[in-house]
Structure 1
């Protein structure tokens, strides 16, 4: 009897609460979760009693570390999350939901042991009603046990099937608890907020705004309601309002469409002036406010033209920006909002106005930041490389596309909804484009594209549709994928994966010639660059900063020279995780304008020189502040090396250590100087004549004597990368590795042998395999094969010699990654050799006898040996390489004078 009385009193109190208390409550529940991996695939009932739980907070991924280690692969399986919620007693009459911004990729959510719902797909939000699972006991808070089962396993029915990025598992975005009045805006519309803003007409004189959506009455009685929508300007002043009265029956969910009065003289939204209104919509009953939503409103209009490009608010605008992946090294994809926002800010600081959010919808913080900062966007679902011919796959694609559109509908930054990326890059096994299964597969891909395009145009006729293709023009024409979407995006890598740089411009012209009515965007282009690697004779695929610079300079000019190219997005904003990659930076894709820790590369400054409107000047290779090189001659005390200056000014004056090197004109945003570096610190100052803009950089230079017995420039140390034409700078160890050279009397160098090179033309030299046991893969991936000697004519003294080896051939061939676009399906690496055996003699002493792949040189393993050496009687240091079986090898050599 007492319990019944308490419940009645509680109900009276709830009904008597002031209006504000009836409104929607949204709170994050990111703290105090428990996590455990579960390779055994436990059930919800059994896992609750399991041990081995780890305390975590969200966002969280279980792959932050294992994607970076030397073990191939990473955990793709099941993980469980558990949390106890305390639900306030005041929520007994509310409708409670669990809202997940994203979880990768198959989710099951249980509340108090009961299944609340399932979701497929790792990159869109989902929510489930959970009120029915929460048991209250009078005025006391209720305890709710939340259990989430996740799996990032490969599933043939869930895109992406494969891709050049890592499929991190986990609850890697925010999770919220939402409590709403029984009368509320629709909470069951693909995890959207249930309201949708459209602007049927916008001009500089007037704008029409319409709010549509649905209202739900989950109470037991009919309700007489008022729907009030107000548009507030940036100062908070109401500029237009509309009020609608309606009655909802008990249990009714009713759609509505509410046109607002015309907004006169609107403040338009653009990248240079991203002005946002706020649209505040409330549901009231009498004086009691039951629910409220706030949406951003940016008033703008736009169009794409196949001949003239893109127009915003009636003015031509070249879309220039980047792609973006959602991970940061060491954190995986489990990022706080601040890091998502930081990336958008870095794009804005670049001068960019366009972001391709690739290859999946990302954290809501990204589009919110784009709205605020004035970045136009394209968003896509992760149908990458290939499809599965199954109804399950097709249905998941349709659901993802609907979720993406409805969840992002009200963001003014969005101008494109896309749905495929390089979908014909990887044909299923046994299928060829010219056989019957191949033709059937292309037809299925066409059907899926048509379904997604039709769905998108129904859902949101105001935005454009886009399909993104790799550079197989005839293949995508044959499949009809250039006809279905309103826009075609091309991912083009001429001069990188294949071909030469001029092929890029030729490809653009071909599109315009053969598809004259189809607007074009260059959705990807880029070249890997390792900030540690440099070359004054850069070559395709050498991963140097200098080749990436030349690549971007060619591509941007070709893009800007062609009005029909509506826009372009560099691949990528920042280096990102791709666990299957090997190469010089294992498990990372380094095609980017920023390093993984968001430090600018040279190409970032180059784009700033072209995109920023304020005076700009920046000295390039700022991260290359530790250099080395040989003196210009036996009596010289300097070494000349090139330096690039990036600027939007007509000319630049350069001073080095106070010495004026003169003024040079800029050529397409770049000024090049050949700088004489002296031993030690060198201060470089760059100035734009007539402008109060300048830059300064300090470079430490390790000058190497050409004659090692020089008294003017005493020999101290030498680090050589064999089989390499690049310089490798290691700031952490304060070492610069210089390229190999042939021996000349009085100096140093190899005698005999050849540069190690894989078959084919993709790599100029060296291997593309992950070298285990080192973070200096670039050094161990190159070697000289068959050398007879390495000589150093150093003065008498005591030295330490370190020899570095890696067996590059006595290992199984690796699968050629499909995105390399060179011999898809072929093996990478030379065929395994039977083995090699050789000895190294140091000044006649067999310091390393019988080096062999089977014992001392394991395949693809970094191996080094440190040897003390005495140089006496003017002989210097002579390393003799004597083969027993196969050829001798040497990957790297270090010599340090001790005294």
Structure 2
């Protein structure tokens, strides 16, 4: 024991010297209860991490070691097999008995588990939970054996199966399964703040009056005595300012009988001239509530919460006001998954999301479409980001008592668990609920369905206003104004959020501003937020003539400029949240990057896209310059005529009026900003090109990047060192293959001395929104854009390459036919064009010799499947490469072509 005390003393001194008192207290909370076999050295609340040493099984028989957070869907949502595992799995862990815990109350706290859970301790059911996005707490005191080192088994049964009584029913995101947020073991004294209140900690803070002169604080505390004897104690609450000074204290004497629960209210003395919380100066106070034993004066329980003193209002004509000042709410929505991790994301990466939003100049986060990890709103409080939170009623409802009760339960959980966050100003409860209306062929039955949707909305509205009269309520609706208005949903919440995609899923860009004006005209007394808007931007795709749904970064830039201008120029628009902060997983999607929604300003791995820089240029209040296309670090293009350079555009995002651009130290001149973008036509030469964008008034403000440019010859005869060329047929976009570091260029009609197709037309997809190509998931490849466009009914393809030995690769995919797939419901004006099937058979000759005979892509490889054919050929006597396409049945096709010189 002497050695133990010596070791402990040295360890304590070491921790105190390096990390200070706060970390030492945390250390004792986490470690000491398991070091000691006698009584613990302190009393009160202990929250102990319970995330390691878990085992996981899909069959409750074969097990693997895992660490929480964990999901079983991190990989299978990204493969080519439709669907992903949505069944039952099991987690188990040992909790060793400890006599020091005798007389304590024990709880298992799950921050998030998708989506139905049964928790067993030593084979006995301890608790259940339905819903995948809110915290729940399971009391386990009576089931734990406290005998020293007894191995208590904790077993958790989890399923993310479809359940028609649990929201969400359908959605454009992946329903990852697993214990994907943290787990804690909570230890308290028998007298404690009651944590059986919908997963909340039992302390609810209100600030009934706030002004620059004074602020009042009211705290409702839910108390419980789970012991066998009566208890007399003091409830003491103290508010500390940011400097740690107590600015208000209230003490209340309380008596609780054995087994009694009671809610008590404390009105604290008024705080004079409080430091106000705002988005630019998020000053946080701290409220510490303590239960103090009347006899021993020991602290039996303690809960701390942040307080932000602020007042706000939404005005249907003038927008949003914070602390009496107008503030345009600008920011993003957020999904919680991350590249390679699914939704099992560590705290550091989640907090970084909020930091990136703040760095963008954002001041608002729509926590969509479900409550997220507690660290998100903690970060919003700290960084000055206002927020809305919503429950996951998405697309549709089930007309059942079970569905209604689960939704109401989720709403209460969401509100009570997040009640004390000063960043939260809106509670929401439905998203695009009429997007996919049921019973389209039975109008009387559909009318009944609409009535039930409205009734559920009204119940949730009434419940929310009872739970928290101090905040606003909201529903997010898609752009079918007349339907929502007719059903009556526009009359229920305090705020309407519109998810609008004119110029993307449907309509034209100009329709966005027209829609805003219609709302203001027809609902003049209802405040308005834009809760979603955005266009996909696959960071691998670029275009100098961008079109709707080409997935190019350039189209997303022009789309965002129109929307931001319309939002910022209308005072009655309280704010807008771009969809989305980052790309996110959506297993049912196909398109250029299957299983991912590419509307994020950041990639799934949180790399900035050009659009992120554009939003910085619009939203930041300090001078800003960024070469927007800086991430396109490896470019290629055809030389201008016989020149030794290729002219291509470069965009710079800025909030300055004028910017100067330098190429390899030479000025390319000044350009005026138009909609926060300056653009130059840059003559790139082969090799490294240094770009530097500068504020001409303050040259220290600048941005620079390097572009490695591969110059392709205007005529093959111009380049003796020509080696490779990769060409997309039927496309006008560039594509960067990050795997092979291959750069693909758009095709062209044949030009003598160069290359190109002879005859044919670009393939156009089977619906009205696609400018060209297909949005099908191409099997057996991650490079879908190579195969999603093609030239149809071409007669020949010619490349006038110099004599030599070449490797020629031809890329095919049958884009017509196959198993019909339901189109994404979000494509609002998606006119389905019936695909005309039938056989496609053709013969292909290369330089007069048969290369492919009676080639039938679908029969040999299947539909929407990547096919690559490669051949080596000697070119002599100036004949170049000539592919002749000879139709047998249907029209010949070619999706892409690449050529590589071997000597």
Is the shorter-chain TM-score for this pair beyond 0.5, marking a shared fold?
Answer: yes
What's the counterpart of residue 610 of structure 1? Answer: 618
Once the two structures are TM-superposed, the CA of residue 855 in structure 1 deviates from its matched residue by 4.0
Pick the aligned partner of 2:539 from 531, 537, 548.
Answer: 531
The residue that corresponds to 1:886 in the other structure is 890
Shift of 1:743: 0.5
Aligned positions of 1:159-174 closer than 5 A: 159-174=167-182
Question: Which residues in structure 2 correspond to 1:476-495 (within 5 Å)?
Answer: 476-495=484-503
Contact 1:805 1:857 (8 Å CA) reproduced: no
Asked if the contact 2:332–2:581 (Cα under 8 Å) also holds between the matched residues in 1, the reply is yes
Q: For 1:245-256, what aligned pairs fall within 5 Å after superposition? A: 245-256=253-264
Contact 1:835 1:853 in 2 (8 A): no
The superposition leaves residues 677-728 of structure 1 with CA deviations (integer Å, 9 ceiling, x where unpaired) of: 11221111110012221011111111221211115x6432211101111111
Structure 1 residues 436-585: aligned runs within 5 Å: 436-585=444-593
Contact 1:626 1:731 in 2 (8 A): no
Is 1:84 aligned with 2:94? yes
Q: Which residue of 1 aligns with 2:796?
A: 789
Establish whether residue 37 from structure 1 lines up as the match of residue 58 from structure 2: yes
Report Cα offsets for 1:226-268 as digits up to 9, x if no partner: 0110011122211111111121122211110000000111011
Q: Check the 8 A contact 1:33/1:83 in 2, yes or no.
A: yes
Which residue, 269, 277, 293 being the options, matches 1:269?
277
Cα 1:16/1:804, change in 2 over 3 Å:
closer
Compared CA separation, residues 119 and 261, structure 1 to 2 (3 A) = same
- Where in structure 1 do 4 or more consecutive aligned residues deviate above 6 Å? none
Q: Conserved in 2, the CA contact under 8 Å of 1:812 and 1:831?
A: no
Counterpart secondary structure, 1:209: strand
Aligned to 2:31: none
C-alpha contact (below 8 Å) 2:364/2:387 kept by paired residues: yes
- Partner of 2:89: helix, strand, or coil? strand
1:618-670 per-residue CA deviation (whole Å, 9 max, x = no partner) reads 0011121111121111x211111111111122210111122211111212321
Distance in 2 between residues matched to 1:759 and 1:810, nearest whole Å: 10
Map residues 318-357 of structure 1 onto 2, 5 A cutoff: 318-357=328-367
C-alpha displacement of 1:15: 15
* Residues 838/15 of structure 1: CA separation in 2 closer, same or farther (3 Å cut): closer
2:640 aligned to which of 632, 646, 653? 632
CA distance in structure 2 between the partners assigned to 1:800 and 1:584 by the alignment:
27
Aligned-residue offset at 1:731:
4.1
Partner residue, 2:440? 431
In the TM superposition, residue 129 of structure 1 has moved relative to its aligned partner by 0.7
C-alpha distance in structure 2 between counterparts of 1:490 and 1:522, whole Å? 5
Equivalences for residues 40-439 of structure 1 within 5 A: 47=60, 50=61, 52-137=62-147, 140-286=148-294, 287-428=297-438, 430-431=439-440, 435-439=443-447
The residue that corresponds to 1:6 in the other structure is: none
Contact 2:806 2:873 in 1 (8 A): yes
- Cα deviation for residue 819 of structure 1 reads 1.6
1:749 aligns with: 756
Per-residue CA deviations over 1:149-171 (Å, capped at 9, x if unaligned) read 11101100000000000000000
Contact 2:232 2:253 in 1 (8 A): yes
Counterpart residue number, 1:834:
838
Provide the C-alpha distance between the structure 2 equivalents of 1:187 and 1:681, rounded to a whole number of angstroms: 61
Q: Which stretch of the first structure deviates more once superposed, 813-822 or 197-206? A: 813-822
Deviation at 1:835, TM superposition (A): 1.8
Deviation at 1:758, TM superposition (A): 2.0
2:878 pairs with one of 874, 882, 898: 874
Cα drift, residue 858 of structure 1 = 2.0
Normalised to the residue count of structure 2, the TM-score between the two structures is: 0.94
Deviation at 1:31, TM superposition (A): 0.3
Deviation of 1:143 (Å): 2.8
Structure 2: runs of 5+ lacking an equivalent: 1-35
Within the candidate set 713, 717, 722, 1:705 is matched to 713
CA shift digits 1:61-107 (9 cap, x unpaired): 00000000111110011011111111321111011111100100011
Q: CA deviation at 1:431?
A: 3.5
Label 1:389 to 1:468 Cα distance change in 2 as closer, same or farther (>3 A).
Answer: same
| Alpha-carbon distance in structure 2 between the residues aligned to 1:141 and 1:235 | 44
* TM-score, normalisation: structure 1: 0.95
Deviates more, 1:807-816 or 1:328-337: 807-816
1:688 has 2:700 as partner: no
Partner residue of 1:843 out of 837, 840, 847? 847
Q: 2:29 maps to what in 1?
A: none
Deviation sequence 1:163-221 (CA, Å, 0-9, x none): 00000000000011111101111121001000100000000110000110221112222
Residues 686 and 708 of structure 2 are in contact (CA less than 8 Å); yes or no, is this contact kept in structure 1? yes
C-alpha displacement at 1:17, in angstroms? 5.7
Q: 1:800 to 1:830 in 2, by over 3 A?
A: farther
Supply the distance in 2 between the matched residues of 1:722 and 1:833 (Cα, whole angstroms): 21
Partner of residue 658, structure 1: 665
* Structure 1: distance between partners of 2:315 and 2:221: 32
Give CA deviations for 1:562-587 in whole Å, capped at 9, x if unaligned: 00000100000000000000010100
Measured after TM superposition, the shift of residue 876 of structure 1 is: 0.8
Provide Cα deviations, 1:759-798, integer angstroms capped at 9, x if missing partner: 4421001111000111110110111111111101111111
| Higher mean displacement: 844-853 or 265-274 | 844-853
Q: For 1:579-623, what per-residue CA distance to the aligned partner results, in whole angstroms no more than 9, with x for missing partners? A: 000010100000010011111111111111121122210001112
Contact 2:122/2:143 (<8 A) preserved = yes
Task: Confirm or deny: 8 A CA contact 1:810 1:835 kept in the other structure.
Answer: no
What is the aligned counterpart of 1:23 among 44, 47, 55? 44
CA distance in 1, matches of 2:615, 2:146: 59
User: In 2, Cα distance between the equivalents of 1:747 and 1:301?
Assistant: 67
SS of structure 2 residue aligned to 1:607: helix
Name stretches of at least 5 consecutive residues in structure 1 with no aligned partner.
1-13, 39-46
- Judge which range, 337-346 or 856-865, deviates more: 856-865
The answer (yes or no) to whether the contact 1:187–1:193 under 8 Å persists in 2 is yes
Answer with 671-680 or 369-378: which moved more: 671-680
User: Partners in 2 of 1:17 and 1:31 — Cα distance?
Assistant: 25
Separation in structure 2 between the aligned mates of residue 802 and residue 648 of structure 1, nearest angstrom = 46
The separation in 1 between residues aligned to 2:419 and 2:266, in whole angstroms, is 17
* Partner-residue secondary structure (3-state), 2:660: strand
Q: C-alpha separation between the residues in 1 aligned to 2:125 and 2:611?
A: 50
Kindly provide the CA deviation profile for residues 471-529 of structure 1, in whole angstroms up to 9, marking residues without a partner as x.
00011001111110000000000000011100000000000000000000000000001
Structure 1 vs Structure 2 CA RMSD: 1.5
- Verify the 8 A CA contact 2:737 2:783 in the aligned structure 1: no
- Measure, in 1, the Cα distance between the counterparts of 2:237 and 2:819: 66
Q: CA deviation at 1:141?
A: 4.3
**1:812–1:832: 8 Å Cα contact kept in structure 2?**
no
- Which residue is equivalent to 1:11? none
Aligned partners of 1:134 and 1:143 also within 8 Å:
no
